[in-house]
Structure 1
């Protein structure tokens, strides 16, 4: 009997300690607000992030209009003001932060419906971060390219840019960026689209994104966008 009482007291003590530790963790994370956030995250069955869904809905709600150029991609595209570089043309930005090839495929119909004369695609760094297999990435890119009628739309695949791991994230290796760029070049060749290799014009000689043109090791400063547009002009033949 004495042994059972001792075990009961020990069990209660452990439970109190665990509850106390959980309370400390929750308090550090923001109290009840943290619990609510976690609950909502578990309850949500949405496949794509809120920002993605908002932007997709905004794009689809806009009245259909033809475009001279569309830039399609993730946050690196999303942050660019491409219309400023082509003031005499109708340019649409269809970048969405954190997007992947899966996300692009989920919204590609809206992009195609704009009947662009040219579409410039840069997507894949978030696929790398998410651990997407190279085979899956290649299939998704082929589907994206094949969504366009290349008799009407010039499809340009742009290489992924290097990452500066000192400033950004060592878990996103540039060796994977190189692997995905090789896939992009092959997809372009196999589907009679064009490939622009931006990568060597942004790396520092050691395979890293040049520090002076990035804000955080991944996203670009103004000089980076200037260089991007300059390389499109230099590498692409005129239609």
Structure 2
């Protein structure tokens, strides 16, 4: 066998081995969605994001009115089919994947102007991922809440959910989640609005996001959304 053919065969075998190893690693860290999430963490949330600005534009050009409920937040809200849980009501999803408090503040007026009966805000896990200072986080949330001043909307702040570090890794710690939730609860108390503790409904005995509710340690599966909605129905 010629030397060139041997080199080609060895090269092909090495590439197959690397491809197989890469696929195995991707599967074991939670799949392509987790890899994409981790790659996004290399830059600021929604900086020059086509998805963010497309969704924001779609929201702003909607003519829907007489809103019963609206859910505002990041991917954890974005992935939820909330309208299916509240038949007979007009329910909007204003979650945008990878969003943070600054991004929500930049688009909240569209929600406010629709004067929904109820609004549910869940935001903060990406602020933790991207290193937002606690005071900046607090200021942004306060501005979001203040946007509803003078409106008839009943606004509720929902706690940030726990994460499962065994699946997600350590870019978000549950200690930081708890500290940011303390800030959220204090804002709600100071502003006289409702604070909904979802965090405690999702933790396991070790304080992690229970694996039965997630596939990647951060986002919820269908069972997780059922728990979330049941919690809102029972409040």
TM-score category of the 2 structures, normalised to the smaller one: 0.7 to 0.9
Q: List runs of 5+ in structure 1 lacking aligned partners.
A: 1-45
Match of 2:84 in 1: 84
| CA distance 1:226–1:150, shift in 2 (3 Å) | farther
Rounded to whole Å, the distance in 2 between the matches of 1:64 and 1:93 is: 12
Match of 1:132 in 2: 132
Secondary structure of the residue that 2:121 maps to in structure 1?
strand
Rounded to whole Å, the distance in 2 between the matches of 1:62 and 1:194 is: 28
Matched, 1:168 2:168: yes
TM-score by length of 1: 0.77
Rounded to whole Å, the distance in 2 between the matches of 1:197 and 1:134 is: 19
Secondary structure of the residue that 1:166 maps to in structure 2?
helix
| CA distance 1:233–1:142, shift in 2 (3 Å) | same
Contact 1:64 1:113 in 2 (8 A): no
Structure 1, residues 162-216: CA drift from partner, whole Å, max 9, x if none? 0000101212111000001000100000001100001111000111000111021
Deviation at 1:48, TM superposition (A): 4.1
RMSD across aligned positions (CA):
1.2
Contact 1:158 1:197 in 2 (8 A): yes
Structure 1 runs (4+) greater than 2 angstroms displaced? none
Q: List runs of 5+ in structure 2 lacking aligned partners.
A: 1-45
Matched, 1:54 2:54: yes
Match of 1:181 in 2: 181
Contact 1:73 1:104 in 2 (8 A): yes
TM-score by length of 2: 0.78
Match of 1:93 in 2: 93
Pair member with larger Rg? 1
Secondary structure of the residue that 1:167 maps to in structure 2?
helix
Rounded to whole Å, the distance in 2 between the matches of 1:48 and 1:217 is: 26
Match of 1:190 in 2: 190
Contact 1:163 1:172 in 2 (8 A): yes
Contact 1:60 1:110 in 2 (8 A): yes
Rounded to whole Å, the distance in 1 between the matches of 2:64 and 2:223 is: 32
